Amino acid sequence: MGVNGQQVEPEVTVGPSSTDCVHAGERSFRSHNSLTVPIVQTSVYTFDTAEALVEYTEERMFWDEPEREEYGRYGNPTVRAVEAKLA
């Protein structure tokens, strides 16, 4: 009971929505204006030499292209999106 015998409604606290939880950690801009994080499928790569493979796995191959996305075993945009959500 409240003042003067009036019924008092309990305060309802609203937390983050399920949408906020699902999309947390995502970049607001996505390539090609996609609405959701795309699922990136992997592919098979071949290398001319073992040295080229080592450069690729150590991410030295594209140091001069920091925004370049390489898709495959060592990560892709989908993997990074999941990592950001779980972090």
For residue 72, list its beta bridge partners: 75
- pLDDT score for 70: 59
- pLDDT score for 39: 74
Q: What is the pTM of this model?
A: 0.32
> Contact, 39 vs 78, CB < 8 A?
yes
- pLDDT score for 50: 92
- pLDDT score for 83: 82
Domain ranges for the chain, please list them: 3-86
Distances (CA, A) of 36 to 17, 55, 82: 17, 32, 12
- pLDDT score for 18: 72
- pLDDT score for 55: 80
Q: Which residues of the chain have pLDDT under 70?
A: 1-3, 23, 26-32, 40, 42-43, 59-75
